[in-house]
Structure 1
């Protein structure tokens, strides 16, 4: 049973996608425990003129919602200059970290099942003192599994809607430096295990970080990683940390239409929300799943494993470093 006086706040970053933002806010309103939940929204200033109209629509909508909602509190920040997605999320985290010991984060393009807050808060309270579990993920790439347990654990990270403890996130931040990642990448045995367990992350590490050949940049700027999700996967793998997942999928992501900065347009099917019938008010134990990591569905795992080029590139890099 959740202690409703300790529900984690929900942090939302947005800029110009008012339609998706409305879907997210409405799904949060319909969630159990929404009335015990503080909402923090940061509206980033548009990076260029073409986003101004959408930005104004977002501001107008949020101003209306601030006067009429069912949350414990509704806190809005309007940035005066463009921060970018990562720094916008950092702004919210810096805003709340001294007042809470955990938080839930979502970008503006997710739709939540009505038991998502119950699930994440239950896990945040149950696994707070677990040394190996560092976060809670709300989606299930398989849609729904046949296991008896309500939750499973994996050694990989799925970023769409997540719950984190402040102290565990800070430990990740301390670890995620360029020198630390390079030192881990020099361990050939570990890297070969990474390729088998999380081939997509292996490919991004090799091409995006070690060789900087990826069309999306995964390197560091001013000492900060430019793609947090990749480095969270690496942190979990190299340090044997785990995330909790629901046995049924709890979110739908709208951002695979190419409208955001992190997901390119894709025709891949996102698993439907299938976990609304699961009662997460009590969780007995977690099933440990050591199957290979994947984005959505297993087919890309096999495509990545068949591609031998990244491993040859890595071995070439290792001979030189």
Structure 2
């Protein structure tokens, strides 16, 4: 295997999530051969200082990797700025990177999947992003991995040649979309990707991920994905910056390694249809939607 990609782990103020994320990462086959870089954002307010300090005490004790380097910010940069800056830094030094956040538990084979794919598609200009998460799809006969247009942000990897296309300016991105592109971008209007772009412009979200997907999409890029997820997000308990309490996207992690990769560099038509079907029915019928809405509102109320 070629040189292993560095791992960027972004943490903030959730010591328990961070601890679990690191524990699962340490159990990866390639952990002991990989360099880990942990980026710890500064506290946004006085009330968060204690948890940030707890996280920092934890990350400064981490072992089980080839090397561990911790970057602690004094001020709060926010997740988007932290990710963009950290990814850019490691890309500059290593020309490739694996990116994780503090609420993701991984399979023991996640790092192997990333590194295999990074090596396999290193010189394929069209392949711009490797995702480790996949929705809980109900399709038995999808290949182990496939190409798709949208980029998932729960565990991913990329190369310098792709990251140089990242366009952080929302206006520059938005003006390149016409009606047809908006529809294709949002999976024929089955997913709220375009709405996320407009909300970013209005200051209602601060997502690096939607701008990264838009940058990939506008370049005609593709993302590699497993048909069975190699990560699960444990941040949907109301503690996350951007996550509601939401079980739609909960998955059982694939226990097996991914050994098969697509040879043809084009979007998998079948996988696209399966994902589109999942997205169009993911919220269930009206009764389920109302129940979920009430449950989320109650949880928010009681967590105040």
TM-score by length of 2: 0.82
Tell me, in whole angstroms, the C-alpha distance in 2 between the residues paired with 1:301 and 1:62. Answer: 37
Does structure 1 residue 106 correspond to structure 2 residue 74? no
- SS of the aligned residue for 2:81 comes to helix
C-alpha distance in 2 between matches for 1:142 and 1:297: 10
| Residues 1:299 and 2:281 are matched in the alignment | yes
Contact 2:170 2:197 in 1 (8 A): no
Other-structure match for 1:180: 172
Q: Aligned to 1:8, what secondary structure does the other structure show?
A: coil
Deviations 1:239-278 (A, max 9, x none): 32111001221111011122121222324350111x2223
| Aligned position for 2:237 | 257
Name the CA distance, whole Å, in 2 between partners of 1:277 and 1:85: 31
SS at match of 1:256: coil
Q: Structure 1: any 5+ residue segments left out of the alignment? A: 219-225, 304-321
Deviation at 1:109, TM superposition (A): 0.6
Per the alignment, do residues 269 and 159 of structure 1 end up closer, same or farther by CA in structure 2, a change over 3 Å counting? closer
The structure-2 alpha-carbon separation of the partners of 1:293 and 1:127, relative to structure 1 and needing over 3 Å to count, comes to: same
Task: Select the residue among 108, 116, 119 that pairs with 2:110.
Answer: 116
1:1-321 alignment runs, 5 A limit: 2-3=1-2, 6-65=3-62, 69-143=63-137, 145-147=139-141, 149-173=143-167, 176-185=168-177, 187-195=178-186, 196=188, 199-206=191-198, 208=199, 212=202, 217-218=204-205, 226-268=206-248, 270-273=250-253, 275-280=254-259, 283=261, 285=263, 288=268, 289-291=271-273, 298-300=280-282
Q: How far did 1:127 drift? A: 0.6
Q: Find the residue that maps to 1:11 and give its secondary structure.
A: strand
Bigger drift between 238-247 and 260-269 goes to 260-269
Report if aligned partners of 2:248, 2:282 keep a CA contact under 8 Å in 1: no
Instruction: Indicate the SS of the match to 2:13.
Output: coil
Residues 251 and 54 of structure 1: CA distance in aligned 2, closer, same or farther (over 3 Å): same
Question: What is the number of equivalent residue pairs in this alignment?
Answer: 280
Q: Distance in 1 between matches of 2:10 and 2:92?
A: 19
Please report how far the alpha carbon of residue 300 of structure 1 lies from its aligned counterpart in structure 2 after TM superposition: 3.9
In structure 2, distance between residues paired with 1:33 and 1:105: 15
CA distance in 1, matches of 2:223, 2:109: 18
Question: Greater shift after overlay, 236-245 or 33-42?
Answer: 236-245
Q: In 2, are the aligned partners of 1:143 and 1:249 still within 8 Å (CA)?
A: no
CA RMSD of aligned residues (A): 2.6
Alignment check: 8 A CA contact 2:40 2:56 kept: yes
Report Cα offsets for 1:88-107 as digits up to 9, x if no partner. 22332343233201101111
Change (3 A) 1:59 1:179: closer
TM-score for both structures, normalised by structure 1: 0.78
SS, match of residue 164 in structure 1:
strand
